[in-house]
Every structure is written in structure tokens, then in C-alpha cells.
Structure 1
Amino acid sequence: MPPQSVTRPPAVDARTRSTTSLWRLRGYLWPYRWRLVTMLVTALIGVFIALSIPLVTRAVIDGPIADRDRSGIVWLGLLALALGIVEAALILIRRWVQARAVLGVETAIRRDLYAHLNALPMEFHARWQSGQLLSRVTSDLSTIRRFSGFGMLFLIINIVQLIVTTVILLRLYWPLGLVVVVAAIPIIITSMRFERRYVAVSRRVQDEKGDVATQVEESALGIRVIKSFGRREYAFDKYDRRAVKLFGSSMDQVRLSARFWTFLEVLPNLALVLVLLLGSIAVGNDDLSLGTLVAFVTLMLSLIWPVEALGIILAMAQEAMTAADRVLEILDTAPSIVGGDITLEAPRGHLRFEGAAFRFPDSDTDVLHGVDLDVRPGETVAIVGATGAGKTVLTGLIPRLQDVTGGRVTIDGVDVRDLTIDSLRSTVATAFEDPTLFSMSARENLSLGRPGASDAEIADAIETAQAQFVYDLPWGLDTRIGEQGMALSGGQRQRLALARAVVAEPRILVLDDTLSALDVHTEALVERALRNVLADATGIVVAHRASTVLLADKAALLQGGTITHVGQHSELLANVPAYRALLAADAEAEVGVGG
């Protein structure tokens, strides 16, 4: 069987892969390119305006104040005020444009991710934890949105501001400018070391969040089992171990970030103290004007936010790159089941298995091999076999929930792999032994396979499946039945799932032990109604009871991974010991009645 957990990429490759992953998502930015350009342009203009205000301050101090020119102070003051208003207006424009762009990017990625998840085969979903998938669709995409809307923009702005401000400082008074340049060197080195370490910690935290989400989801879905066995403490301990592990990794992330941000806080302040000391000496020696020193200090203070924010932005960048890596792990998984280009315009429902074989990935043993079975249009065949014989796998090959690994399955002479997915799955409908219902109304669940079904058709399907209980729900068919239909009994869920398959009006109807949870009386009523439905469709019925086998025109015995016998129920019962043994109790009852 396939492994049950995610295979995670090795940490040694994480940095290179994550950087590449974030770059590969750039295509989602393209539809919003003009908004993004507007964001960048307004932000850069705002930076240059903000840097010009200290220069206006220098002009005020060294000019009108030094010359005691009151009129000059007014005009320069009005200029500074105008610059501040323009800067505020640019910020307003940037944020207004920003919201739609970044939310649009997140929505587009989430849409494609969800569509891709639906296109992936059952083997993928069996291998991946649902919590890991959930964390990628929610928290990872939010991380990417925050970086694309805030971090990426300010990374560019802050770099530009650092470079431009450093150039201005060197031009104002180069000895003090050199102090700033020298102070920047250890910041750059530390930032590079921080980036390498933070990406590994960030990946570990995000993976462990997925593990915790998986545990919560499993506990919520299995709450009845947990309560019935009195295993609340066991479930809590299992959750607590994962939560404590996540806490430890998160604390490692916080400690790493705290050391880096503390360093970014201390070094710029030390450089500022040194600049004030040397600048005061230069002013005292008339090597530097007071206005220039004030402008220099103001500009240097304007660097503190970009330097301090560097840690936050780099952390966001690493988290976004890790999130992109995790998202692309899904998007890069190529769907192994891809539809062909043939559409059945008027399917008759002639189903054939021709030497069909199947084995799970990473397995050396065939679950099925050399399966040959011919089911003519309108004919119903019961598949009988021991538990684990491969009956569910066999029925899953028809709608391509799995694909054959040998031989082929055909409908009306066309290999199912050559049919479009829509054509195939509108031709075939399946009702499973363990039915899945969705957190929507009973009506929406029933019409899932055929959204255009009329009320009369839905009512007929409900009658066929003996699911009239839906009319007694608080709001009838419009009652929301809750996640997984947990508010219903097992038999009610099976009947609702059976009605859903009947509503679809398929040419091929697959019943995978759909009646197992019904009592004898209800089963008899359902079987009587199903005969009318199966009279107009090709039927495959997985059966464990003789009463269910009697729905079919003939029975097929599945053993040893292949169909060994096909014939009338009475013939197989009389001539095939293995078949008789599987249906021993019902066979004895039949013999007793016949005698």
C-alpha cells in the first residue's frame, strides 16, 4: 500500500528549491502588473519625497534661520508641508491599489490549487495527509499573499532607500557617510547567515502546522469513535505531542528572529551615537554646518526603519518561499489520470474488462490480473468475492478512480482512457459502501451528480432508495445535513448516497456494497425499486448477500485477483464450492425454501 504521510524534501535542498518556487509563481502577478507597477512607482516617489524633507530642513536651518529671514522660513515650511501631503496621498493610492492586486493573486492561486487537487488521482489523496493539504490551501497561501502585498514591495523600497540615502549621506559629509557604510557591512553578513538558517526552521514549522491540522481534523471526524471507546485522553495526548513539537519549532524560529532583530536594533543605534559625536566635533571645527548635521542625523534616523524591517521582511520572504515550495509540491504533481478526446454522444453502456490488471504504486504484487468480463447494455452483474479480494478496486477502474496497469476497460468499445473525463463520469455513477456526504442541504447532495435534476426526478430517486426520511428533517430537502452527514445514521447515509447515484441517471450504475448498512426489510424495499432502475442501465453490484446477488442477471466470482467464474447465481451455487462458501448462510436458506 502507498505510504500514509507526506514525503518531505530534504532540508539541504530547501533554500535553492524555495527560492525557485517563489519565482515560479510570478505568473500569477502578471494580470495585476499595472497595479503592481502603480504600487511600486507611488512607493518609490514617496521615498524620494521623504528623503527630500530633511534637505528642506537643512535649507531652513542654514538659510532663513541663520539669516533670521522670517519670510524664507514660511515658504520653505509650506514646501515641507506640501511634500508631506503629497507623500500621504501617495500612500493612500498605493494601499488602495494594493488590496485588489494581492487578494487577486491569492484567490487565483487558491482556485488553481483546488482545481488541481480535484484532478489528482486517488493514490495521491491516499498518500497525503488532509491536514497538510488544508494548511497549504489556507495558511501557506496567506503567507504568500502577505509577502507579495507587503514584503516584496518594501524589500524593493527599503533597498532603494538604503542605497539612495547612503549616497546622499556620502555627498553631505563623506567621513560620516563612511561610518554608515562600515556599519552596514556586518548587517549584510548577518542577514545572509540568518536567511540560510531561517528557511530550514520555517519549513519545519509549516510542516508541523500541517501535522497538527491533520490531527484536529481526524479527531473531529472520529469524535464518535473516540467518545465511544473512552479514548479522549489518548486523542488529546496525541494532539498534545504534535502541538508541543510545533511549539518547540516555533520557539526556535522566534529565538533565531529575536537574535537577528536585536542585532539590527543595536548596531544602527551605536552608529548613530558615533555620528552625533563626530558630527558635533565637525560642527565645532566649522567643517560641517549645523543644518547639514541635522539633515544627516534625520536621514540616518530614516534608515533605522528600513534596517530594522529588514529582519521582518527577510523572515517573511523565507516563509513565503517555503510556502511557495509547499504549494508547488502539489501543483507540480502531474495528474496520472488525464482524459482523452472522445465523447460518447449516446452511450449504450456496454462494459468490458479485457485482461485488466491493477497494482498500487510502489508495490510488486498485482491486486487484479487478467480480469475478463463482458456486461451487455441493460445487464446487471454481481461481483462476489472475499473481503480484500479487490472488488472495490475493480469497480473503481470503471470511472477511472484508478487506472488499469495492464489490459483495458472499455465502454461501447472505447477504452475509458480515451474518453473525456466529463463524458466518462456522466456515463458512470457510483454509490459507495462508505458514503461521503457534504456539508450542504440534502437537495444539493442529491443533485451533485446532475445539478439540473427536477424535483420529480429527485423524488423518484428518493423513493427508489427508500430515503423518505429526508422529508422529516427540520427543513425537508433544504436541511443542511452537516459535515460527512454525521447527523444521519449509517443506513440513512447509504440511502441518500444511493439516491444521489440514481438521480444522475447513468448508463452504467455501480453499487459498491451500497446496501450493507440496511436492515432486511429496508433492503428488500430498496432492491425491489432498484430492479426498475437497473432494467434501464448496465449494473455492477458488489454483493455479500444472496439477496443482493438476486438483483443481478448473473454473478461473477472474484478470487485470486481475477474473475474465475461467471454464470447464473443458481449455477454457481450448485457447481462452485468457493462461491457457495461465500454465500453459505443465504444458500442454505434458499435450499431450505426450495426443499
Structure 2
Amino acid sequence: MKSQPPGPGPATAAEEAVGAGTSAAPPSPLRGLAEPVRGRLALAVGLQAVAALAGVVPFIAVSRIAERLTEGSAAEGDALWPLVALACSAGFAALVCGTAAGALAHLADNDLQLTLRRRLARHIGRLPLGRLTDRGTGEVKQAVQDDVSALHTLFAHTLLDVVSVLTAPLLTLAYLFTVDWRLALISVAPLLLGVLLFGRAMAGAAAQMAEFGAATGRISAAAVEFASGIAVFKSFGRGHRAHERFVRATEGFADFFSGWVRSTLATSTAAILVVAPAVVLLLLAVPGAVFVTQGWMTGAALVPFLLLGPAVAAPMGVVGPRIQQIRAGQAAAVRVTALLDTPTLPEPTAPALPDGHHVRLRAVSFSYDGNTDVLSGVDLDLAPGTVTALVGPSGSGKSTLASLLPRFHDVTAGTVTLGGADLRDIPATELYRRVGFVLQDVRLLRAGVADNIRLGRPEATDEEVERCARAARIHDRITELPDGYATELGTAVTLSGGEAQRLSIARALLADAPVLVLDEATAYADPHSEALIQDALSALAAGRTLLVIAHRLSTVRSADRIVVLEDGRVTEQGRHDDLLAAGGRYTALWDAQRNADPDGADGVPDQRPTRAGADIREGSAR
């Protein structure tokens, strides 16, 4: 069972519920998101309030009937029928209004969900690709699915529940004061005592809730690590250690939550007990019996207190779960609003089209946080039909520099131009027709194989799709799938890493972008897959301008230009033989790889990666 943190006091619940559902100063993110359906939600709230009030009327009518019966008015049937009719009509009105309120709230929420998801989809589509990479798919999924669902719970369910538990007791208490003010005051006592006890139980709840969120976050992170890393641990004979962090996280959460519960158990239990219907009924029955025996009130006057008295303290019984739903909705609104407020990729005010495909970087600097430069003063030229390789130690800025070309990010200073036009002045649709990329981390859609290949050109014919698949050395594998090119990926059929990489190469071939960014597509491939991928890359490179991020230097020794990056700066550039002759940083990197793998996995003696690297260069020249 999922642990639920203790909720704050009922006063807080009332304030947050009113803030979430009425005009009494709701949080601005929640108000802003609900604005399109605010009128319908307000009407639903009004109908629910009428339903709650009407639901009390039958109990009042029954108490009045009991009073008349005890007064000896039973013979006068005509005097009772109006009360019976009132009870029936009020019950019917409560049913109709409650049903209408629920239907209206759900219809409004359905429209709101559709509107929010469309807004999120449009906005996410205009975010810089690097921003999406930084955020990861988890945050986007949470906003589009989980957070919108949390808002559904708030608007379609919790809002109406809060209105009911706050409205009905008000009418109940007002009526009870007209019957007997002394017993009415006694009926308020459990509510006041419950508020006091809950307030004491929730002292310091803000800090505890923060720790609760952090603890659950640690469990989630450890669970992901456990699931994704267990194979690595087992392969090194350390399977028993794979779950240690997860166990520590769960045990830490258990210790924290147990301590929190123990510290609040007595007061929170007492708060629940004092508002329990049986306790409230007993609390009213004892003094009520005394009042009747002493002649201070009639037996009929005691009936409404026995019927309605427990309802006065009823909100305390449901306040905890409602508060959690309100807070979850508020937090979801904040996250959704934050995502919608994320700056999008600026669209050019004066669009420009490239004249050719020559890429120039001039005095380029870039910073992720606005303070520390990851790149500084980079000047680079990528001539059409050439292969340029980026090499350097980890953290030198290779991936960052490559990400500027497809405009995953905008430069902090300097310019990146394509065909003489600044990338920031080229419309996104035009830019991605001219610049493509093949990354290590391949993303395939849950769709047919052909649809995955057609992603860049949806109008492509079946013949064109098959031609590109053949060139990418993936056609034979596709024909082995249950439905060939119509096979849906992501269900019962999955592709290996090398196969997915070749499928992405087929996608890039079909898109036919003249400028390509390659991020070491063979880094995690087995030897057989690597050979096929290198053949596919040779076909992909033909006649195109390539910018290649190289981790294994042997795969790019035939590149037209090798650029060495260190600490975000270009320290060397030239051809392989010239850089080796210079004896600088490139030579040190080359020697380090040779010494690390003298048998050829990453070094010179093995001819397979050398040939593959040459194939890319020769393919681009064909």
C-alpha cells in the first residue's frame, strides 16, 4: 500500500479548498490554467452547494415529522404530507443537482485536459531540442500525463467534495441552533477539539513534507538505477550489490516515515476519534437525555441532534485525503505552468534562407547557466562535401559544439551560419531540411517501421523507404519481422541497439539533409553491428557535409579535418598525419588509445575500425 503523509489541519484544508475552487484567492498557476473553464466550474460548484444543502432538508423534515408525531398530531395526516413532500422533493433536487454538478465538472475538466495537452504539445514542439534533452522525457511525461491527471482529480472530484463537506454542516449547524442553542454548542465541541488536535499533530508538517518528497524521490532514483543497472552488476559478479542502494533508500524512508507517524500517532488518532460519528452521537445523546429528563427540551427536539449532529464534525473525517489531492493539484499546476513558461526557440522576425551549405562558426561561446562558458572563442569552417571530426577528452565540449549546428541551443556569443545565414534567422522547418543528425541514443516511435523511417519525409513512397533501408543495411532484418515494414515497434517487437541505429540512418537517408551531425553511432555496437553501421554511414556520408563526434580516433583518421577540443577551446586542427607529426594533444590522445588497447579495439593495429573510418571518407567523396 502506498504511504500517505499525514495531512494538515482542517482549517488549512478549508482555506486551500476554497482557494482551489472559488474566487477566494486561488494560487495564480491554478487560476491561470483553469481560466478557460472557470465559468462552468463555478456553476458546478453552485449546483453542488445546492445539492449539499438540499441533502440536509430531508433530515430536517424527518425531525419535524417526529416532533409532530410526539405532539399527538399523527391523526392530522394532512399536516404531515407537506413535510413528506418536502423531504422527497429535496432529496430529488439533491440527486439532480449533484448529478448535474458532477457531469458539468467532468465535461469542463475534459475540455481543460484537451486544451492543456494541446498547449503542452504545441509548446514542447517549439522548445529548443537541447532543452528537451536536458529535461528528459520523464519531466515531459509527468506534465502531459501525470500532472494533467492530478488536475482532473482536483477539478472533477475534490472540488465538489470540498464544497459538500463545507456547505452541508453550515446549514445543519444553523438549524440546530434554532432547535436548542445549548446542545448545538455541544455539537460544535468535537469539531473544535479535532481542529486543535490536528493542528498539534501537524506542527512542523512543512519540513516533514519536504523530507517525505525527498525520500520518495530517492526511492524512485534508486529503483531506476536498480532496474537499469542490474545487468551490469551481474555481469561483474556483483549482483548482490545491485539492490543495496534501493534497499538503503527504502529503509531510510521507512525509518523516517515510522518516526513521523510515531510522533503524531497519539494526537492524530485522538483527532480522528473525537469526530467519529459514534463518539459525536454519544456526546450528544448523554446531555440530550439529561435535558429531556429535566424537562429542558422535548424528546422530539433531541431527534434532529441525533440525526444531524454527527454531520457537523464530518469534514474532519475526510480532510486528510482531500488536502493531499488539493496539494497535488496545486503542485501539478505549478509544474505545468513552469513548463509552459519555458522560453521557446525564438522564431526569426526577418527569416533568411541559406545560400548553399557552407557552415561557419565565428567567435562562438556558449554557457548552459549563463556564468561558466562551456565553449569559448571557437572558429570553425565546415566546407560542403567534407568530413570534420571533433575529438578531445571527456567534458571538452564536443557534444555541446555539435549541438549548436542543429540548433539544439543558441550560442551565447558569436554566430553560427549556414550558407551565409545565421541559424537564428533560418525558420526551424527550413533548418531541419538542411541539417540532420544521427545520435547514439536512438529514439524510435511506437509506430510501424515504415512510419519510423518516414519521420523526416512523411510523403515518401514505399519504394523510397525500401531503398533507404537497403542502403542502411536494415532491409533484411525488416523483412524478418512479422509484418515487415508494417510491423509496429515498441509492442511485442523490439530492435537491438545496432538495428535501431541502422533504422535511424535509414531515416536520415530518406530525409536527405545535406549537412549531418554524427555522434559516434558505433560506440556501443558489437563487431558485426558495427561493420553494418559503418557501411550504412558510408552511404549516408556520400556527397554530404559531416560533423562527427569521435570517441575512437581510429574511426576518423581519414577525415578531411580533425578538430581537437580542450576546455571548450580549439587547440589543434588538421589532418591525422599532420596532427601526429605536430606531437601535440592529438598525439597524446592517439598514443593513449593505442596503449589502452594494443590488440586493436581502439587503436591502430586493428584494420576494421581503420577501414570503417576510411569508408566514411571515401563515401563522402563518391
TM-score over 0.5 for the pair? yes
1:290 is matched with: 299
RMSD: 4.1
Q: 1:383 aligns with which of 376, 384, 389?
A: 389
* Cα drift, residue 208 of structure 1: 3.7
Tell me, yes or no, if the aligned pair for 1:465 and 1:495 is still in contact at 8 Å.
Answer: yes
1:45 is matched with: 50
Is 1:526 the counterpart of 2:536? The answer is yes
Which 10-residue stretch deviates more, 463-472 or 556-565? 556-565
Structure 1 residues 470 and 170: alpha-carbon distance in aligned structure 2, compared to 1, 3 A threshold: same
Task: Quote the Cα distance in structure 2 between the aligned partners of 1:36 and 1:265.
Answer: 34
Is 1:357 the counterpart of 2:357? The answer is no
1:396 maps to amino acid: S
Structure 1 residues 100 and 545: alpha-carbon distance in aligned structure 2, compared to 1, 3 A threshold: same
Structure 1 residues 224 and 576: alpha-carbon distance in aligned structure 2, compared to 1, 3 A threshold: same
1:278 is matched with: 287
**Aligned ranges for residues 28-39 of structure 1 at < 5 Å?**
28-39=33-44
Structure 1 residues 310 and 27: alpha-carbon distance in aligned structure 2, compared to 1, 3 A threshold: same
1:244 maps to amino acid: E
**Aligned ranges for residues 230-269 of structure 1 at < 5 Å?**
230-249=237-256, 251=258, 256=264, 259-260=267-268, 262-267=270-275
* Cα drift, residue 169 of structure 1: 1.6
1:428 is matched with: 435
Structure 1 residues 449 and 496: alpha-carbon distance in aligned structure 2, compared to 1, 3 A threshold: same
Tell me, yes or no, if the aligned pair for 1:341 and 1:419 is still in contact at 8 Å.
Answer: no
Structure 2: state its 5+ residue gaps: 1-12, 592-602, 615-622
Which 10-residue stretch deviates more, 565-574 or 428-437? 565-574
Deviations 1:230-264 (A, max 9, x none): 44332222222223334445556766588536414
1:416 is matched with: 423
Task: Quote the Cα distance in structure 1 between the aligned partners of 2:218 and 2:501.
Answer: 31
Secondary structure of residue in 1 paired with 2:360: strand
Structure 1 residues 132 and 564: alpha-carbon distance in aligned structure 2, compared to 1, 3 A threshold: closer
Tell me, yes or no, if the aligned pair for 1:120 and 1:336 is still in contact at 8 Å.
Answer: yes
Deviations 1:472-509 (A, max 9, x none): 233322334449x9954443232222222222222322
Structure 1 residues 33 and 360: alpha-carbon distance in aligned structure 2, compared to 1, 3 A threshold: closer
**Aligned ranges for residues 334-353 of structure 1 at < 5 Å?**
334-335=342-343, 337-345=345-353, 348-353=356-361
Q: 2:380 aligns with which of 373, 380, 383?
A: 373
Task: Quote the Cα distance in structure 2 between the aligned partners of 1:83 and 1:588.
Answer: 88
Tell me, yes or no, if the aligned pair for 1:342 and 1:420 is still in contact at 8 Å.
Answer: no
1:36 maps to amino acid: L
Structure 1 residues 357 and 338: alpha-carbon distance in aligned structure 2, compared to 1, 3 A threshold: same
Give the total of aligned pairs: 569
Give aligned-pair identity as a percent: 25
Task: Quote the Cα distance in structure 2 between the aligned partners of 1:215 and 1:267.
Answer: 40
Tell me, yes or no, if the aligned pair for 1:369 and 1:562 is still in contact at 8 Å.
Answer: yes
Structure 1 residues 549 and 450: alpha-carbon distance in aligned structure 2, compared to 1, 3 A threshold: farther
Which 10-residue stretch deviates more, 379-388 or 128-137? 128-137
Task: Quote the Cα distance in structure 1 between the aligned partners of 2:344 and 2:36.
Answer: 30
**Aligned ranges for residues 203-218 of structure 1 at < 5 Å?**
203-218=210-225
Deviations 1:295-328 (A, max 9, x none): 2332213324333223432343344444545555
Secondary structure of residue in 2 paired with 1:503: helix
Tell me, yes or no, if the aligned pair for 1:131 and 1:217 is still in contact at 8 Å.
Answer: no
Q: 2:323 aligns with which of 296, 308, 314?
A: 314
**Aligned ranges for residues 473-492 of structure 1 at < 5 Å?**
473-482=481-490, 487-492=494-499
Tell me, yes or no, if the aligned pair for 2:123 and 2:340 is still in contact at 8 Å.
Answer: yes
Structure 1 residues 434 and 59: alpha-carbon distance in aligned structure 2, compared to 1, 3 A threshold: closer
**Aligned ranges for residues 501-516 of structure 1 at < 5 Å?**
501-516=508-523
Task: Quote the Cα distance in structure 1 between the aligned partners of 2:122 and 2:252.
Answer: 32
Q: TM-score, normalised by structure 2?
A: 0.77
Deviations 1:488-544 (A, max 9, x none): 444323222222222222232222223554657546643552353xx2x43323455
Which 10-residue stretch deviates more, 505-514 or 269-278? 269-278
Task: Quote the Cα distance in structure 2 between the aligned partners of 1:220 and 1:236.
Answer: 9
Structure 1 residues 528 and 508: alpha-carbon distance in aligned structure 2, compared to 1, 3 A threshold: closer
1:71 is matched with: 77
Tell me, yes or no, if the aligned pair for 2:33 and 2:333 is still in contact at 8 Å.
Answer: no
Structure 1 residues 210 and 387: alpha-carbon distance in aligned structure 2, compared to 1, 3 A threshold: same
Structure 1 residues 193 and 129: alpha-carbon distance in aligned structure 2, compared to 1, 3 A threshold: farther
